[in-house]
Each structure stands twice: as structure tokens, then as C-alpha cells.
Structure 1
Amino acid sequence: MDWWKTKKSLRAVVKKERSVRGRERGEILLEELIKCCDGKPNPIKFFSADQILEATDTFSESNRASELFDDTPYDWYHHSGKNNNHHHHHHHQMILIKKWRYRFNEQNRGNFCRDIAISSMVSGHKNFMKLVGCGLESEHPVLVYRAVTKPSNLDLKTLLSWRKRLKVAEEIATALAYLHTAFTRPFVYRILRLGDILLDDEGDGGGVAKLCNFSHCVSIPQGETFVTLDCSCLGGDYDYMDDNYLINGVVSEKTDAFGFGIFMQKLLTGEERFRELLTLENRKFPNWLSRYIGEGRIDEIVDTKMLEKMGEVTDEERCRMEAFLVLSERCIGRRGEVPKMVEVAKELKILFR
């Protein structure tokens, strides 16, 4: 028996199966695109499973973007640049591939499709990754982005400059404000995790922050101000979730404001998780920060490593830190009306000057 013939026919079967799978998923994606983008989706490329495998050298270890965290639900890969002459090689280095660890199934297909759909809509904005296309044929879907020059995760252990943290806050606020206002319906990012923020470390001003996962994004129906979700399946990190979301499943622009307020407090204190205070009954964790405002004691709660790096803290910087903390408290609803993210971004721009 000619083994290569059986091998070939088997390959043909696999290929057919993949393309059927790709087509079915493409249709699901199209529905999501039409839903999200009001029927005007941006053009994106569809890559075959073989193209993705070739690009990543079959997801080889040497192509992993090892500089990026492992504690997110996806892995990042650089283009291998193999089998290309030098001229092509350079061109291909320009992509970064995000491979979901979850398999594409009934439960999560909406998440993947939403990630792709919204990525395609926000692609032109500097605080989001630029989507080139996606691969839906394999069990684990992938998204293909234009590469950032020097990607890194937002890591509070290494990002020790106060000015850079301020800049990151301003950029993420701008990204959230864009999601809330740029489309006919507001999109709520919903789950702001540090692992979903990438920094592009090259370029002027030392890095641009980019949001890079939209699988939890929710659109608010036209004419409504909120949407109700079942949040029992979320589990885990509650620290960016306000009570109205956690207890009643209510998602609105305020959900993002709250998550962002907590994010600001993490940037200021260097605490990556307010974990020990995180039982449902005892969700008072942001309270203790208030006590340090206005008495010149802000240094007591600010990230000590960041303070060391700053050396002498001027009164002006201290005022800036206090203003930053007050703004974070407004975001989490401790000081009257919760501000809109557009307003938060504006105030941070003024602070950053």
C-alpha cells in the first residue's frame, strides 16, 4: 500500500474539515460583526490553519513572545520568518499572533467573535492593537495583529516611573472613553485586567498602552443605559467589579468607571490585587485610601519602589498624587456622581501635563 497516498487523502480530509469549520465559524463571526458594527464591518483577512502554522513554525517555543505574561487566557507568538528570503523576513516580523487557549465551542464562540469584531472596529486608534485578521479553522482561534515594536505587559513591578504610570492611566481612560462614545451604541469593556494591557515600549514618550482583549465587551442597546448579565460564571478576581454588577449583574458605563478607578489605585499603590479584602461581605477595600488625602500623608500608601525611583517627591507631585487618588475615588462612586470616562481622560490629561 502506498503510504503517501493514504497520508495525502487523510490530509485532504483534514483540510476539508478545517475549511468547513472555518466557513461555519466565519458565518458566526459575520453575524457578530454585523451586530457590533451596525452592518458595516471593517475588512479583515481570514488565514487558513496552514498559514498560521507556517507563520508560527507550528507554534514553536522559539516563536513565543516570551516577554509577555502567561497568566492570560491566550499565548502570543511572533512570526517565525522562516522559509523567507531576507526581504520578506523583515516584512513578516511585523505581525504578532494571539492564540486563545480555549477551544472554539458553543459556550465561548461569542467571546472570540466579539474579540475579533470589536478589535476590527477600534483598530485605527492608537490605544488598541491593530488587527490584520484572524484564523478560525483550528480548534484554538487566533487573532493576527500588526506587531508593536517592543511589546511588554503592564507590570507594576517594573514600571516604576510615576510619570509613565500617569501616562498609562490617561491612555487607558482614553481607550475606554472611545469605546463608550465612538459608536452608535456604547461598548462597555467590563473586565479591566492588568494582563489585558500591552505596552509598546518603543517610540517617543516611552511606550503606548493598548487594550487587547474584547471578549468580555458588551454593547448597551440603543436608547438604554445599562444591560443585565448573569455574572455568576465570572468567578475569581472581583476587585474591579462594583456591587451593582457583582450582585445585580447590571453593566453600564459606570462598570468601566469603577474598574478604572480600581486600576488607578493599583497604579498608585503598586498593589496588583486588593486580594485579602476580597470576600463578598467585606468589599470595603477602597475605603482605607481616603484617610491619606489632604494631610500630606500620601507617601504612606504610594508604591514604595516607585517613590524610591522618584527620589525627592516635590509638593507639586504630592498634590498630583492626591488629585489622582481623589479622581479614582470619584470613579468608584465614593464622591458623588460617577464621572464619564471622557471626563476622566480629560482630567488625567491635565494632571499629566
Structure 2
Amino acid sequence: MIGCICSYGNYSQRSYRSCRCNYGYRGNPYLSGGCRDIDECEEAEGRNPCGEGYDCVNMAGSYECRTRKTKTLAIILGLSLGFGLLVLAVGAWRLYKFIIKQREIKRKKKFFKRNGGLLLQQQLVSNEANVEKTRVFSSKELEKATENFSVNRVIGQGGQGTVYKGMLVDGRIVAVKKSKAVDEDKLEEFINEVVILSQINHRNIVKLLGCCLETEVPVLVYEYISNGNLFEHLHQDDENDDYTMASWEMRLRIAIDIAGALAYLHSAASFPIYHRDIKSTNIMLDEKYRAKVSDFGTSRSVTIDHTHLTTVVAGTVGYVDPEYFQSSQFTDKSDVYSFGVVLVEIITGEKPVSFLRSEENRTLATYFILTMKECKVLDVIDARIKDSCNVEQVTAVANLARRCLNLNGKKRPNMREVSKELERIRDSQLHVQNEEDEDTIEINFRYSWNDLVTDSSSSITTTSSSHRTL
């Protein structure tokens, strides 16, 4: 028996047994299981036999004193463990973000260097007087301005890229053009053109505010023009008729604005700049319907040809100069041809290419030249302006358009001549007289204006008369 101990002996030839309970036990040692363990912890009657800060734990025949485990300690341990895990998680997250940020910084630096950022900085240092005119935006600025290039911000899309409407931190509304691709071999020329075009300040040219070179392809930032482009106003559906285009005076003013801008680019700018993609969709209209020429090749590479800066772009079907198409040599007269097509659009309201016309007259230029040869210009004037327009002015502009569309580039006027001629048409009282030879048109101006253009089928003779200046 564990709870008791017995001793045996003999007395007077009789054996006997003397038993007692072991320490920590109590009871009758002579009965089986009679010695029972004493619970010293309970018998203390509220007094802790182990003392303060310890717990009494009953054991067989004894008791143990164990350090007391309080709820506060458990809470502290739990909080410590939780905080440690939180710190570990936050540290891991920050490390991850740091790694991602470093990768993004390296990526932006790579794009900045590849897109000619270092070259642009050198250009700015060498041209400190115009530093403020060229702004290099960060990708973060433009992402914020366009809500991370949201589809809801798209205001234009084409083969060259997508244009987004954005708002800079200073409140300015801008058009952000994100190109689809870039020729890495031509980045140096691209940067040269960005610097030059950012210095252009003409009221009829959309201002290039700057660029961003931290993206995979360069992003260009222009001033925002609110009234869309000329093509939309000339060719929208009948049910949404544009009454602005119902005025010949408005159309003539737009033509003069375009011609003035191109004349500036060709001859008044620091270097001659050829647009190479003149078309009605690249003519923007502001809130007062003043024309602004846009998108002249800055998102594309350029080449230096002696003193002329030209963009390496094929152009748009219906506007491309046939002479350039055959020879691959672009000149200022190629822009003149494209402008001639835009003039015809303004006069006729017809699209530059239409499958509604016969195959031989599918392009507007061909159709118009045939009409002029047949002296039927009045038959092709846009119905929206036909009844209210100055027929003499329209006829004079039509003849100018025909000169611009001459297949021989050398016989076309330059843009400065075109601009001056349009201004004279606007400011002059014209009298158009049909001669016996239907192919000859004599135009008399209040101001002196002499010009002679002869081709295989018709001639335009101009005579001048002197009048008092108004």
C-alpha cells in the first residue's frame, strides 16, 4: 500500500503487525485503502501554504508550489506575439513595395535614357533662354492628369496612338498623346523636333507643352482644343447639322488660319518645318472656331535634309501629293497639295475619299480637277453655303485650290503666296467674268493682284486695277 506502512514482529509466540499512514496521508491503515491523501492546499483554509505569487498544487502525499500564471501576463504575451507578427508583415510588405519601386525607378530610367532624355537635357542646357518653353513631365504627373490613362478620358484614337484629355495640377486642361510605337533609331531626331516645336508660338498652331520620356514610348502633351476637328464639322450626319459650317465667311476664315499657320512653319519658324500630314482631322477648332494646325509629326521621327526639317511619314490617302508618292521626295509643295485638298473639302463639303463617286473620281482631288475643267464649280459648292455664299469668292478660292493641286509641284504656289492670296480674296471685291473660252477665268480685285497659271487644259489670268485703299 502506498498510503501506509506496516511493521511485523512476534510477542509471546504471537505474530503481530503495526501499521501507520505515510506522511501526507490520513486514515485507518489497517483497512484496504484506508489511508487517503491529504489535500494540503484545501486544508490551508484560505491560507496559501506556498506564499504570495505561487499556486498550491496537490500531489500524492504532498503538494507543489508553482509560479502563478496571471491573465495579464497572457495578454502581454499575446499582444507581443501579435505585434511581432504585424511588424514582420509590415516589414515584408514594405520590402516588397521597396523592391517594386526600385524596379519601377530603374524601368523609368531605362525608358528615359532610351527615349533620349539625356539628349533632351543637353538640348535644354545649350538653349537656356528657352528652358521654360520645354517641359519634361513625369509619368506620375500624366497618370494623375488622365486618371491613369482611363478609357473615359479618351478623346481621339488613330493609327499613331491615343489622345487623352487631362488636367494638370495647376488646373490647365491638356491633350495627352500616347503613341503606339517609336523608331528607336530616330530618337535623336525626335528630341530635336520636340525642342524646336515646343518653341513655336503661333495662334493657329496647337502648342506643344512638353513630353514625358519615362514611359515605354514618348508621351506628348499639347494644349487642349475644345471644339473638335474640321472633319467632324464638315462631314457630320445631316440630322446633326452644323450651322457653323453653313457660313462661307467662317469657312474662308478657317482656310486663312490654316494657310497662315503653314506659311509660318514653312518660312517664318527658326527652321522650315514640313507638316507631311495636312488633313481636316488635323485641323482643330477652338471655342471661337479659329483653326489650329495639330499633329505635325512630333510623335514620329524626323530627318535633317540640309536646312529643312521633315517628318518621315507617308501621309493619308486622299491627301498625299502624287509627286511625292512617286519620287519619295517631300518638299514644301507637298504640304501645299494636301492643303489644296482641304480647301476643296471646305468648298464642297465632300470627303477626301468616297466610294459613292465613280472609281476614276474616287479621290476628291481628281473629282474636283475634272469639275474645274468642265467649268462646273458652281455645281459642287456645298449645299449648306450655296445660296448665301459670295460666289465670286468661292470661285476664286476654287481656282486657288486647283493651282495647289497641280500635279507639277514646281507650278504650285508656296504657302506664303497661298496665305496672302486668301487674305486678298477675303478683303477684295471680286468680279468673275466668263470669257468665250470657258477654260479662261478673269478675276479683277480691288487690290492689285496678278498671277498666271497655265496647264494643259486651262489657264487662269488675273489682272489688276488700282483703287483707293479702304
Q: TM-score interval w.r.t. the shorter chain?
A: 0.7 to 0.9
Provide the residue aligned with 1:211 in structure 2: 293
RMSD: 3.6
CA distance in 2, matches of 1:25, 1:322: 49
Report whether the alignment pairs 1:180 with 2:266: yes
Q: Secondary structure at the match of 1:98?
A: strand
Moved more, 260-269 or 101-110: 101-110
Q: 2:345 touches 2:351 (CA, 8 Å); kept in 1?
A: yes
Which of 381, 388, 391 lines up with 1:313 in the alignment? Answer: 388
Query: Higher strand share goes to which structure?
Result: 2
Q: Secondary structure at the match of 2:116?
A: helix
Q: Secondary structure at the match of 2:176?
A: strand
Provide the residue aligned with 1:85 in structure 2: none
Alpha-carbon displacement from aligned partner over 1:288-316 (angstroms, at most 9, x marks no partner)? 221464xxx53310122343xxxx336xx
Higher relative contact order (CA 8 A, sep 6+): 1
CA displacement at 1:351 relative to structure 2? 2.0
Q: 1:196 to 1:329 in 2, by over 3 A?
A: same
Question: Normalized against structure 1, the TM-score is what?
Answer: 0.76
CA distance in 2, matches of 1:142, 1:273: 30
Report whether the alignment pairs 1:344 with 2:418: yes
Q: Which runs of 5+ in 2 are unaligned?
A: 1-88, 236-241, 428-470
Q: 1:267 to 1:114 in 2, by over 3 A?
A: farther
Alpha-carbon displacement from aligned partner over 1:114-135 (angstroms, at most 9, x marks no partner)? 663443132x110112222111
Q: 1:44 touches 1:133 (CA, 8 Å); kept in 2?
A: yes
Which of 397, 405, 414 lines up with 1:324 in the alignment? Answer: 397
CA displacement at 1:220 relative to structure 2? 4.6
Q: 2:211 touches 2:221 (CA, 8 Å); kept in 1?
A: yes
Q: 1:23 to 1:71 in 2, by over 3 A?
A: closer
Amino acid at match of 1:153: N
Report whether the alignment pairs 1:153 with 2:226: no
Q: Secondary structure at the match of 2:277?
A: coil
Q: 1:331 touches 1:338 (CA, 8 Å); kept in 2?
A: yes
Provide the residue aligned with 2:334 in structure 1: 255
Q: 2:260 touches 2:419 (CA, 8 Å); kept in 1?
A: yes
Q: 1:189 touches 1:218 (CA, 8 Å); kept in 2?
A: no
Q: 2:278 touches 2:339 (CA, 8 Å); kept in 1?
A: yes
Q: 1:32 touches 1:114 (CA, 8 Å); kept in 2?
A: no
Q: 2:320 touches 2:334 (CA, 8 Å); kept in 1?
A: yes
CA displacement at 1:270 relative to structure 2? 1.2
Which of 72, 87, 96 lines up with 1:6 in the alignment? Answer: 96
Q: Which runs of 5+ in 1 are unaligned?
A: 82-87
Alpha-carbon displacement from aligned partner over 1:22-77 (angstroms, at most 9, x marks no partner)? 1332347639969xx99986641111111111111101234334xxx434633333
Q: 1:230 to 1:178 in 2, by over 3 A?
A: closer
CA distance in 2, matches of 1:238, 1:39: 41
Alpha-carbon displacement from aligned partner over 1:95-144 (angstroms, at most 9, x marks no partner)? 3132224134426746854663443132x110112222111111242222
The aligned runs of 1:286-301 (5 Å cut-off) are 286-291=368-373, 293=375, 297-301=376-380
Moved more, 15-24 or 243-252: 15-24
Q: 1:97 to 1:281 in 2, by over 3 A?
A: closer
Which of 141, 157, 161 lines up with 1:74 in the alignment? Answer: 161
Moved more, 335-344 or 262-271: 335-344
Provide the residue aligned with 1:84 in structure 2: none
The aligned runs of 1:256-295 (5 Å cut-off) are 256-276=335-355, 284-291=366-373, 293=375
- Which one has a bigger Cα radius of gyration? 2
Report whether the alignment pairs 1:167 with 2:253: yes
Which of 215, 218, 222 lines up with 1:138 in the alignment? Answer: 215
CA displacement at 1:338 relative to structure 2? 1.4
Q: Secondary structure at the match of 1:323?
A: helix
Q: 2:160 touches 2:181 (CA, 8 Å); kept in 1?
A: no
Q: Percent identity?
A: 26
Amino acid at match of 1:134: C
CA distance in 2, matches of 1:241, 1:152: 23
Q: 1:151 to 1:313 in 2, by over 3 A?
A: closer
Provide the residue aligned with 1:246 in structure 2: 325
Amino acid at match of 2:162: D
Q: 1:220 touches 1:252 (CA, 8 Å); kept in 2?
A: no
Q: 1:57 touches 1:80 (CA, 8 Å); kept in 2?
A: no
Q: Secondary structure at the match of 1:79?
A: strand
- Pairs aligned (count): 318
Q: 1:185 touches 1:220 (CA, 8 Å); kept in 2?
A: no
Provide the residue aligned with 1:53 in structure 2: 143
CA distance in 1, matches of 2:342, 2:191: 26
